[in-house]
Structure 1
């Protein structure tokens, strides 16, 4: 046992033990995306994942307790890619642009990422119904996307606040639900519609939400 531990800390070919661990974890994450995004989470096995990652089975358990942990890690990376695409696009928008033009710019970046079918399957299919823990993670992600969209709404519609007939948090949730369901439908159709059509359609949806709120905000100004 001592010899194994000592060998685990040695550098081979100029690669340290820490670097080897990180490389193997990266290989498992990449294999997880491929496997979960093709055969699906429920058909995946540790052995199959390790073969796809080109690592010995024992290395899986050095990084993950079970396949659900790998699924959550892969899902987290997918969500980070989607979030970063939207945030980076928002940072580049011209504040003088109209609402729909901005929506097109942000959504196009977002849906470009969704054109990765492995990512789309993991995000919109494979995390559903797995376990309460995964379900809570999924709901938390939807809440975070709702908060991101709410920031977008307030940036272009002013200080929108809830009222007797409006709950802005629910409004953002409804909009995210529409975008999310459209993304899932687009993936399941085999990306039948052109991306520009999907983006333009959703930009119209967001415009129809934001523009009336912006008009109300202007009317409330002294």
Structure 2
């Protein structure tokens, strides 16, 4: 299909065309979270099944999206956006705390948001993998945002004398891999630990990166 079908314009039922379009899009994404993140998964879902789950028609689907891959791309960004919002709120609330407390607050906020719904974990760590070069680029770009956030926190900590001054990009990239892998394995039941224990382990790992052997905080 060359492009989306043209959506109706004008007011209907007291709502503008833009409001109705936003509502349709939300319903499609809610249905995608249910089907892609649960059963049957992205690869086994059809446009007809997604439209039925959303309570909408396939025509309305093509007014909003070109393909199911477009829906998965939008859902992946939405799930990551929820997590990022939770983290940024935690960052702002922990501004004056010592490094160890600040890192703990941030990771508790991230872990709580991502694991609040197992379907979010599946979208983030499973369904997005191997779909297409386009989605792989999006996944890596979104991961790079998390790397940037860690680097910014590390640089700020170093400026306060709470962490060793160095380039943290490589270490942050490796650490994000640990976060993703551990949270995925925990959610799948492969790690026998509470979520608090998982977060505590991640905090220890990050503090170990920020405070390398032989370095001591400024006094």
CA distance in 1 between partners of 2:214 and 2:142 (Å): 27
2:171 corresponds to 1:171: yes
Displacement, 1:18? 2.2
**What CA RMSD, in Å, does the superposition of the two structures yield over aligned residues?**
2.3
**TM-score, normalisation: structure 2:** 0.87
Q: Aligned match of 1:160 in 160, 165, 171?
A: 165
Unaligned runs of 5+ in 1: 1-6, 163-167
Q: Aligned to 2:206, what secondary structure does the other structure show?
A: helix
**TM-score, normalisation: structure 1:** 0.86
Map of 1:204 onto structure 2:
204
Map of 2:11 onto structure 1:
11
Q: Report the structure, 1 or 2, having the larger helix content.
A: 1
CA distance in 2 between partners of 1:137 and 1:213 (Å): 36
Displacement, 1:195? 1.5
2:25 corresponds to 1:25: yes
Unaligned runs of 5+ in 2: 1-6
Higher mean alpha-carbon deviation, 178-187 vs 150-159, is at 150-159
CA spacing shift, 1:101–1:23, aligned 2, 3 Å: same
Number of aligned positions between the proteins = 208
Map of 2:193 onto structure 1:
193
CA spacing shift, 1:217–1:161, aligned 2, 3 Å: farther
Deviations 1:128-161 (A, max 9, x none): 0000000011111111111110111112223833
Q: Aligned to 1:13, what secondary structure does the other structure show?
A: coil
